[in-house]
A = this chain, B = another copy of it.
Amino acid sequence: MTSTDPTSRPSVRPTRQRRAVAAALAGFDDFRSAQEIHDLISQQGESVGLATVYRTLATLADAGEVDMLRNEDGEAIWRSCSDTHHHHLVCRTCGATVEVEGPAVERWTSAIASEHGYGDISHTLEIFGTCPACR
């Protein structure tokens, strides 16, 4: 590592571009694709390369500051999230999203995994349904 930072943080610089992406993320609370976020930034008068949007989103996702999941077409979609691990309850009609936590599920998945000798575990869990307003 080249980092001289004792916290071993890879030194993320606060550039104009990263600020623009953060600002765009603050502007909506549902899941958006990278392209949509890129367009949104343009509409806010900033100019940021698409590749940079991807890079920044990936970094933020890595840092746990945004959620990334995939829609049914396999496309990556993002939104800013709270800092704790959680899952989503998504209305399949209007897209309304509720963040839910399930310590029991977390425990269950790692238990199942190690029970079968699997390591380096991750999991995806999304719940789809129809929200009260759409019924």
Binding site for B on A (CB under 8 A): 70, 72, 74-76, 89, 91, 98, 100, 102, 104-105, 108-109, 112-113, 116-132, 135
Q: What is the bound-complex CA distance between A16 and B2, given in angstroms?
A: 57
20 further A-B pairs in the complex, CB-CB below 8 A; given A118-B130, A122-B129:
A70-B74, A72-B122, A74-B76, A89-B112, A89-B118, A100-B116, A102-B108, A104-B104, A105-B105, A105-B125, A109-B127, A117-B132, A119-B129, A120-B129, A121-B127, A121-B128, A122-B127, A123-B128, A124-B124, A125-B125
The answer to whether B112 and A100 have CB atoms under 8 Å apart is: yes
Residue of B nearest to A131 (CB): B118
Residue of B nearest to A109 (CB): B127
Q: Which of B75, B118, B123 interacts with A74 by CB under 8 Å? A: B75
